[in-house]
């Protein structure tokens, strides 16, 4: 190779000088190499010039003026050595995949790159990704040290991928890599900008420099006529729009009907997300098996990018349900028998931590969120107290631990974090392994644990030593240990957690009962003190019928004490257990109230749904503070529907009962003077019945009687609570469902 073919504006005497390769690490220099003396943050390559010459370098390139070298060594001064190194490296390794894609931004890079990779892979496109998680192609995965590699290493990898006939390469591009010109000499067909938030200010010093480093990708490295993909809602969008116009680059946006793709509707269904999407005036319906609404933005950017890579949108969307979470990015790890969940995430910035916690709270509103986290050493000190404040805002319990302390004193880092936490109880466990183990051990049914900060990383940096360390591995081992003491029966786990008792995980439990007369073998008997009778007096009678356990207010000395669980108030205990059980099952709950027809309607709905699905409905008129929690706790874990009648004698009772039930759908049959002894007038009855709407789940439904005098009042209440209203009527023909006509045929009605 001759210098004139690789370096512009050379003096004539150097043009035909031969060189064998390039290096910027003196230990890797080979005979006749060019050595690039780069001044870094920690080391200065100019101090290693003599070592490079000893190893065989014959050309030295530096930004310094006064470098003295031997007469037979060529010294060249350049203003930007890093940039020149990158440009020469990509020229030497000229062959590279046909389509180059870059993803930049503070958060979401890895997820977008991985989702994009998966979409292309599902559609049989030859693709590779390079970034934080490593190099991925075909079935191969190889870890890397940096998000954006040095140009020599990257150029070699790109040439190797081309040899493997891979034509699409998706690269994460960090602000460090862009500012240090590591990608100069490459030209990108598609460039994606995710967002910008507080990070890396220890390096960039201010947000302006941080943003300009990111925008370098679009200003200098994206092809004319190429594509930029971004988000219409981010503050930086006008800067990006301006660059796209100046550079004649096409711009496609998420959250924009006119310029790209738009999310029309979204609904959580436990761990699934149901979506309706609009693209070029066409609607698409799909679902994701991913945790966190933020994943939708990442998915939509990946959809646009895949479309620009030559795939039709309908083909892309048909595969979205197959996409798996990215390693260490809102990734659910393992399965715990009590329905608690452990989520692993790389969140190590204030914005990323808040986003992860907010997304978990939004998707699992009834779960208590526990958090294991710390902050890295020798990095952005300002963010520590900010992250402490965010942790306190969203978490039920904080386990404060070490992240990568590097060369800082770990206790100082933790103290900096605690400056932002004012009132929350903190469990401080420096040993990260022990912190994770303790947090998982303490998880109750339905609880969530977010282990944040390190994500996919496989080491922990203590400055003088780097230890092998995998959050994921510790989580999986801790879950395995926890599951040894848990039952497959969720009801047993809940009773044990709420009572600090230990019912055997193998114990057979049939039903829950509060009636010693009808209790059966293997039932659990709740000895409840009622208005007339005290169930605690009938515990011995229940044991004669071979019950498994009794929940009592006082231990009965005539019965086996090991099978009695003493609680302060057995009704309150039943109610708490039933409520927790409700929060941990997937059944759709239908709750019915009204002055007349509740029981009949419940029986009709229950028997109808039973024909087509797994359904349980409350027996007889189990519609009060005893019957509702009892019926709810008797639902089966795999039921698809639960139907409940809700009654009242006074104001506040329906609100109290539906707080336990958390219905997906409510029904008010009608309002009349039935059971009106505790109400001043019929309006007060209507108001009390309206309490059913207080606790219907978000985006839930209320069914109302349009023939009823209080329809308008109930409809107004429902709309205030953002419930969908479905009306029915016989007289009123404008209702959603109405009776057109009927006729009698042989004693039946059609």
Per-residue model confidence (pLDDT) at position 200:
58
Q: How many helices (H) and strands (E) does the chain have?
A: 23, 36
Q: Comparing C-alpha atoms, which of 677, 617, 628, 674 is closest to residue 654? A: 628
Per-residue model confidence (pLDDT) at position 118:
97
Pairing of strands 512-513, 134-137: unpaired
635 vs 549: CA distance, rounded Å: 18
Backbone angles phi, psi at 487, to 5 degrees: -95, 155
First to last CA, the chain: 92
Per-position DSSP letters for 243-304, written without gaps between them: HHHHHT-EEEEES-TTTEEEEEEEEEETTEEEEEEEETTEEEEEEE--S-THHHHHHHHHHH
**Beta-bridge partners for 15:** none
Pairing of strands 341-345, 369-373: unpaired
Backbone angles phi, psi at 568, to 5 degrees: -70, -45
**Beta-bridge partners for 344:** 331, 451
* Residue 336 token pair: 């715990």
Q: Whole-prediction pTM value?
A: 0.88
508 burial via Cβ count (<10 Å: 0-12, 13-18, 19+)? exposed
Per-residue model confidence (pLDDT) at position 125:
95
Mean pLDDT of each 10-residue bin along the chain, 750 residues long: 92 93 96 95 92 96 87 92 97 94 92 96 96 91 83 96 96 92 96 83 74 94 97 95 97 94 94 96 96 96 97 96 95 97 95 95 96 94 95 97 96 97 92 98 98 95 93 98 96 95 90 95 95 93 97 96 96 98 97 95 97 94 94 97 96 97 98 81 95 95 98 98 97 94 92
Per-residue model confidence (pLDDT) at position 530:
86
Residue 455 DSSP SS3: coil
Neighbour count for residue 292 (Cβ, 10 Å): 23
Whether 661 and 644 have beta carbons less than 8 Å apart is answered as yes
Whether 647 and 624 have beta carbons less than 8 Å apart is answered as yes
Q: Comparing C-alpha atoms, which of 271, 397, 367 is closest to residue 582? A: 367
Per-residue model confidence (pLDDT) at position 71:
81
Per-residue model confidence (pLDDT) at position 198:
60
Per-residue model confidence (pLDDT) at position 429:
98
Helix (H) or strand (E) holding 570: helix 570-583
CA 674 to each of CA 569, 585, 602, 649, 713: distance values in angstroms, whole numbers, following the listed order: 32, 34, 18, 10, 19
Q: Comparing C-alpha atoms, which of 569, 709, 593, 704 is closest to residue 643? A: 593
């Amino acid at each position: 190779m001759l210098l004139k073919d690789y370096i512009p504006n050379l003096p004539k005497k150097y043009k035909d000088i031969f060189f064998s390769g390039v290096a910027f690490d003196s230990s890797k220099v080979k005979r006749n190499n060019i050595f690039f003396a780069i001044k870094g943050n920690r080391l200065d390559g100019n101090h290693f010039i003599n070592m490079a010459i000893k190893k065989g370098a014959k050309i030295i390139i530096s930004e310094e003026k006064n470098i003295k070298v031997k007469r037979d060594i060529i010294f060249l001064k350049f203003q930007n050595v890093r940039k020149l190194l990158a440009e020469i490296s990509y020229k030497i390794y000229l062959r590279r995949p046909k389509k180059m894609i870059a993803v930049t931004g503070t958060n979401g890079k890895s997820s977008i790159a991985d989702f994009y990779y998966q979409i292309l892979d599902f559609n049989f496109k030859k693709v590779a990704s390079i970034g934080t998680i490593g190099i991925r192609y075909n079935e191969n995965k190889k870890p890397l040290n940096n998000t954006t590699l040095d140009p020599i290493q990257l150029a070699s990898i790109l040439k190797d991928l081309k040899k493997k006939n891979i034509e699409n390469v998706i690269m994460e591009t960090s602000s460090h890599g862009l500012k240090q010109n590591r990608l100069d000499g490459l030209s990108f067909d598609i460039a994606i900008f995710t967002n910008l938030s507080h990070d890396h200010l220890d390096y960039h010093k201010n947000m302006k420099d941080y943003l300009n480093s990111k925008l370098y990708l679009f200003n200098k490295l994206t092809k004319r006529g190429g594509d930029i993909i971004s988000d219409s809602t981010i503050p930086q969008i006008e800067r990006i729009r301006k660059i796209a116009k100046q550079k004649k680059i096409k711009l496609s946006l998420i959250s924009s009907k006119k310029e790209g793709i738009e999310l029309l509707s979204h609904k959580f269904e436990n761990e699934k997300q149901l979506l309706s999407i609009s693209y070029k005036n066409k609607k698409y319906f799909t679902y994701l098996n991913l945790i966190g609404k933020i994943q939708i933005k990442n998915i939509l950017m990946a959809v646009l990018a895949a479309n620009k890579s030559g795939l039709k949108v309908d083909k892309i969307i048909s595969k979205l349900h197959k996409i798996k979470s990215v390693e260490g990015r809102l990734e659910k790890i393992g399965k715990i028998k009590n329905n608690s969940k452990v989520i692993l995430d790389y969140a190590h910035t204030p914005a990323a931590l808040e986003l992860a916690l907010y997304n978990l709270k939004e998707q699992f509103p009834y779960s208590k969120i526990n958090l294991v986290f710390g902050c890295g050493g020798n990095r952005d000190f300002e963010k520590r107290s900010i992250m402490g404040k965010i942790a306190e805002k969203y978490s039920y319990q904080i386990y404060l631990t070490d992240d990568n302390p590097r060369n800082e004193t770990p206790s100082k880092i933790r103290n900096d974090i605690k400056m932002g936490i004012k009132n929350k109880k903190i469990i401080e466990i420096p040993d990260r392994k022990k912190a994770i183990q303790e947090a998982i051990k303490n998880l109750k049914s339905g609880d969530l644990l977010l282990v944040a900060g390190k994500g996919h990383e496989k080491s922990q940096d203590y400055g003088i030593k780097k230890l092998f360390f995998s959050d994921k591995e510790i989580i999986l081992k801790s879950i395995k240990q926890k599951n040894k003491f848990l039952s497959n029966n969720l009801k047993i786990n809940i009773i044990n957690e709420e009572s600090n008792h230990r019912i055997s995980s193998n114990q057979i439990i049939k039903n829950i009962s509060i009636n010693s007369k009808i209790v059966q073998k293997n039932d659990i008997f709740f000895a409840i003190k009622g208005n007339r009778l005290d169930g605690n007096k009938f515990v011995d009678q229940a044991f004669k019928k071979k019950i498994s356990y009794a929940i009592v207010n006082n231990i009965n000395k005539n019965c086996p004490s090991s099978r009695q669980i003493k609680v302060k108030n057995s009704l309150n205990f039943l109610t708490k257990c039933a409520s927790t059980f409700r929060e941990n099952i997937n059944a759709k709950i239908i709750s019915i109230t009204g002055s007349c027809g509740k029981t009949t309607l419940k029986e009709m709905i229950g028997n109808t749904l039973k024909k087509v699905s797994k359904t349980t409905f409350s027996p007889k008129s189990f519609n009060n503070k005893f019957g509702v929690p009892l019926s709810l706790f008797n639902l089966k874990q795999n039921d698809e529907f639960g139907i409940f009648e809700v009654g009242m004698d006074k104001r506040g009772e329906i609100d109290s009962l539906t707080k336990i039930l958390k219905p997906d759908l409510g029904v008010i049959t009608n309002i009349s003077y039935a059971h009106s002894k505790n109400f001043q007038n019929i309006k007060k009855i209507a108001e009390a019945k309206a309490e059913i709407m207080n606790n219907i789940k978000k985006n839930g439904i209320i069914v109302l009687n349009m023939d009823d005098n209080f329809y308008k009042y109930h409809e107004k209440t429902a709309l205030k609570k953002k419930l969908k209203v479905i009306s029915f009527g016989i007289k009123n023909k404008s209702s959603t469902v109405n009776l057109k006509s009927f006729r009698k045929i042989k004693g039946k009605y059609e």
